[in-house]
Amino acid sequence: MTKKLTPGTKAPASGLYDIKGPRGRDTGVQRTVVKGEPFPPTPGRGLAYQLNTPANNGAGRGGKK
């Protein structure tokens, strides 16, 4: 399981992030975030971001090399 990230913190890697509920439940909402940019506000309270698919272009250093 990857680390959950809160709105306003800087993204550690570029990619597609799921928005998860307080207990880790999937909300079905995703956002694309670029490495170093702050996460946008979530649609509700207590929600957090979790990396789903890292970018494969090398910019986020999370995908293929």
Question: Domain range spanning residue 36?
Answer: 15-54
* 7 located within any domain: no
- Give me the pLDDT at residue 27, please: 93
pLDDT tens-place string over residues 3-52: 789 999 999 999 999 999 999 899 999 999 999 999 999 999 999 999 99
* 9 located within any domain: no
Task: Find tokens 């975030």 and name the residue.
Answer: 33
* 25 located within any domain: yes
Tell me how many domains the chain contains.
Answer: 1
* 31 located within any domain: yes
* 4 located within any domain: no
* 23 located within any domain: yes
- Give me the pLDDT at residue 58, please: 59
* 33 located within any domain: yes
Q: With a cut of 90, say whether residue 2 has pLDDT above it.
A: no
- Give me the pLDDT at residue 44, please: 92
pTM of the model: 0.80
Give yes or no for a contact between 42 and 48, defined as CB atoms under 8 angstroms apart: yes
